[in-house]
Amino acid sequence: KYKKENVERSGVIFCDYSLEEKKKPRINKTLTKILKQYSQEKIEHVTHQFDFGLSHSECFNIAESLLNKYATAKLVITTRIHCALPCLALGTPVILVVKKYDKKRYNGLIQLLNVVGYSRHKLFINKVLYNKNNEVINSEKFKPIANNLKQKVFNWKK
């Protein structure tokens, strides 16, 4: 429903991360270098942090709005797994910023996503794929997993 085929992508979206964060200068330096390729793009900041008092309807409207933004973005940079995975499914280039690698949280995901951040041993991670125009692209490693999951759901519906 949200995936846009052959859409003209535009804009860079930061989800719950800002280059203003001073605690991670190496992450910011790497992202700033990547963003040079996107200098003509509008930058937008969004968040996934909302008040608990929102109704289900309001929550779904916000989620739908965010998915529509991600579906047409040229690049999304996020600290949120639940932002990165939908971007991957939507075909939107995404970079997951990992401030501190936690094996229980990231194991299995880090192989599927572009990642900039720190390992649990404070080693710097810069695993980003690029196309020939030096634009960020997603790995295709998730596709067999997604296809397998689709097949299981399809078979279960029968």
Question: For residue 115, what pLDDT is reported?
Answer: 95
Question: For residue 157, what pLDDT is reported?
Answer: 67
Question: For residue 62, what pLDDT is reported?
Answer: 93
CB within 8 A of 96, min separation 6: which ones?
Answer: 78, 79, 81, 84, 109, 110, 113, 114, 115, 116, 117
Question: For residue 4, what pLDDT is reported?
Answer: 81
Give how far the C-alpha of residue 78 lies from the chain's centroid of Cα atoms, to the nearest Å: 5
Question: For residue 121, what pLDDT is reported?
Answer: 77
- Residue in the structure block whose two tokens are 């992450």: 27
Question: For residue 158, what pLDDT is reported?
Answer: 65
Asked if residue 96 lies in contact with residue 115, where contact means CB atoms within 8 angstroms, the answer is: yes
Per-10-residue mean pLDDT of the chain, 158 residues long, equals: 86 94 87 96 93 89 95 97 95 94 84 90 88 95 91 83
Question: For residue 21, what pLDDT is reported?
Answer: 77
pTM confidence score: 0.91
Asked if residue 80 lies in contact with residue 16, where contact means CB atoms within 8 angstroms, the answer is: yes
Half-sphere exposure of 92 (CA within 13 A, CB side): 31
Distance CA 73, CA 68 (A): 9
∠ CA 83-79-22, nearest 5°, is: 150
